[in-house]
Chains A and B, each alone.
Chain A
Amino acid sequence: MSNVDTGSRARRKGRAVLSIERLGVTFPTDAGPKPVLTDVSLDVHADEFVCIVGPSGTGKTTLIRCISGLAHATEGTVRLDGQPVTEPPQRLALVSQDYSRSLMPWLRVDDNVRLPLNGKGIPRADVSRRVEESLAAVNLAKAGRAYPWQLSGGMQQRVAIARALAYQPEVLVMDEPFASVDAQTRAELEDLILRLQRQTAMTILLVTHDIEESVYLADRVIVLGGSPATIHHELEVALGNDRDQLTTKSQPEFVNYRAEVLTSIREARAIAAPQ
C-alpha cells in the first residue's frame, strides 16, 4: 500500500455532489432475474476525478446509465446535489465511447455542439460564445464548419467532449471515452481531459478498462467486481495536481498504484468466476 501524500487533490471536506446509496440493478432475463449490480455505495465530491475500473462485463456501463438517468436502478438511489436522479439531470453531461454514433452526421461540428443548448432559453449570443469557447478548449476552433465524419476518430471524440463542455455540467460522466482511439491520440485526450478538469473544476466520473489510464487520471480509483458486481476496492491516488505522461507514469508511486489496482481486479475476477 503506497500512501505517500504528494499532495492529494481531492478536497474531501467538500460536499458530495453525487451520492450513490446501496444501488442494485437486476435485469429480467428468460432464465429468471439476473442481478448485475448490488449494494454499490459511492460519494463523489465536488472537483473530484473518480475512475471506475473493472473486468469487462461487470456492469460498469449499467452503473453509468443509472447515474446519468438513462436507466433505473432496482434498489437504492442515486442523488445529484441531493436530488434523486430519475431522468437525465440538468447538471450532468455524458460522453460515451461511440463518438461516431453520438454525433449527428447531418450537422456540422459547431451545430452538433450547439444542439443541446438550443431551445433552452439561453440567449443566442451566449450559446455562440459557449460553442466557440468549448471548441477552442479542445483545440478544434477551426473545425467548426466541418462535418463530424470528415474528422478523425480522436477529433470526433473531442467534438463530443466539446459538446459536453458547452453544456456546462457540474458532473461530467464518461463511459470508456478513449477506448476506440489509437494509443497516441488516447494519451493526448487523457491530457486534454486532465487540463480541462483542472481549469473548470468539474467533477468527473470516468469508466475505463485501462488500469494505467485510471491511475493516471484519477484522484480516486474504484474497482468494481464480483457477480453481481459491487465495489471491490477503492484507493486514493495521491499523485498531485500536475501529471505528465512521462514523469508521472515512471514514478514509483504510480507503479505501486497500478499494481494495487491490477491485483484488485484479479481478485475481483477470481470472485466472479469461481473454479
Chain B
Amino acid sequence: MTTNIALPQPGEVPTGRRRRAQDYLQHHRGARIVAQLALFLVFLAIYSMLIAFSPSLGRFMPTVPALLVDGFGTILVDPGLWEGVGMTLYATVLGLAISLVLGSVVGVLLSIHRNAYLSAQFVIDFMRTIPPLALIPVGLLLLGPTLRMEVTLIVVTAVWPVLLQVHFGVVNIDPKLLETARSFRIPLWRRMLFIMAPAVGPSFGTALRLSATLCLLLAVGTELIAGGSGLGYLVGWYQQAFRIPETYATIIIVGLLGVALNSFIMFGERRLLGWHRRETKAARS
C-alpha cells in the first residue's frame, strides 16, 4: 500500500497565490520583457545622473543622446564597422569550431584509459590557467597581427573547457546505459553515435557556451592589442582618436554580438538538449 501524505518540508516552495506571484515573470514573456526594459531604463537613468553630477566623468563618458547621435549615428553608417563585425565574427566562429573539434577528439581520447587523463592532467591544468591575454605578445612575435595569430590564440584558450567537459562527459556516462547497449548487441559505432554522443550532449552544451564567450573575448582582445582589423581594433582606433561616443558605441556592438552569439547557442541547445532540461525538471518535482 502506498499512501500520499504530504508533510510540510523545511524551505518548501510556496503554493497557491504566493507561488503564482513568484512565478509570474517566468510564465509571462511580455511581462518579462517589460520588466527587463524597465530595469534597463533605470540603469540608463543612473548613468545619466552620474554624468550630470560629475563633470570629470562626463569628459570620458558620452551622454545618452551623444552616444546615440554621435556614436551610433556615425559608426552604423560606416562600412568599416560591418567589416569589423564580419572579421571578429569570422575569427570567433572559426576559433570556436576548431576548439570544439580538437577539444572533443582529445577529450574522447583521454577517456579511453584513466592513465591517459592522469598523465595529461598537469599539462592541461597548466595551460588552461595561463591568462590568455598574456599570450598575445608571443602570438604577435610568432605570427604577427594576422587572422592566423588571432585564431591560434583563440584555440589555445578555448580548447581547454571543451576538452575537459567532453572528457568528463564521456567518463560519467552511466555504465548501465552502455551495458544495456552491449547486452542488446548494438554495434560499437552505433553505440558511439546513438548512445555515447547524446549522453555527452549536455556537457558538450556547457562546453560550447563557456568556449563561445572565451572565443569572442579573445578575438576582441587580440584585435585591440595586436591591431590589424576587427571590432577590437576599431575600439582601440576610436579611443586613440579621442572619439568617445564612437568608442562606446563600438563596445556596445561587441556586447550585442556576444548576446546574439549566446542566444543562438541557447536556441540550438533548447532544440537539441530540451530532453535534458525537462528531464532534470521532472526529476526535481
Residues of A with Cβ closer than 8 Å to B? 68-70, 87-88, 90, 92-94, 96, 98, 101-102, 104-106, 115-116, 118-119, 147, 149-150, 163, 167, 182-184
Contacts and interface: CB of A to CB of B under 8 A. Distances in A.
B279 interface: yes
Given A70-B182, A88-B183, A115-B186, A106 B198 contact: yes
Given A102-B176, A118-B194, A183-B2, 12 more contacts: A68-B183, A70-B182, A87-B185, A88-B183, A93-B184, A98-B176, A105-B276, A115-B184, A149-B278, A149-B279, A183-B1, A184-B1
B182 A88 contact: yes
Contacts of B184: 88, 93, 115-116, 163, 167
B83 to A, nearest CB: 41
B176 A96 contact: yes
Interface string B166-194: 00000000101101101111110010001
A90 B185 contact: yes
Return the 4 tightest CB-CB contacts between A and B, nearest first. Answer: A116-B184, A101-B176, A102-B180, A94-B183
A183 B201 CA distance: 36
Interface in B269-285: 275-276, 278-279, 282-283
A67 to B, nearest CB: 11
Contact of A106 (B1, B276, B282): B276
Interface SS majority for chain B: helix
Nearest to B187: A119
Interface SS majority for chain A: loop
Interface string B244-272: 00000000000000000000000000000
A147 B278 contact: yes
Contact of A104 (B1, B2, B177, B187): B177
Interface of B: 1-2, 174, 176-177, 179-180, 182-187, 190, 194-195, 198-199, 201, 275-276, 278-279, 282-283
B282 A150 contact: yes
Given A104-B195, A182-B2, A93 B176 contact: no
A107 B283 CA distance: 16
A184 B11 CA distance: 32
Contacts of B186: 115-116, 119
A101 B173 CA distance: 11
A98 B123 CA distance: 39
25 contacts: A70-B179, A87-B185, A88-B185, A90-B185, A94-B183, A101-B174, A101-B177, A102-B176, A102-B177, A102-B180, A104-B177, A115-B186, A115-B194, A116-B184, A116-B185, A116-B186, A119-B187, A147-B275, A147-B278, A147-B279, A149-B279, A150-B282, A163-B184, A184-B1, A184-B2
A118 B190 contact: yes
B202 to A, nearest CB: 9
B274 to A, nearest CB: 9
A226 B2 CA distance: 35
B185 A149 contact: no
A167 B174 CA distance: 22
A92 B183 CA distance: 8
Contacts of B195: 104
Contacts of B198: 104, 106
A119 B188 CA distance: 11
B252 to A, nearest CB: 39
A145 B278 CA distance: 15
B179 A149 contact: no
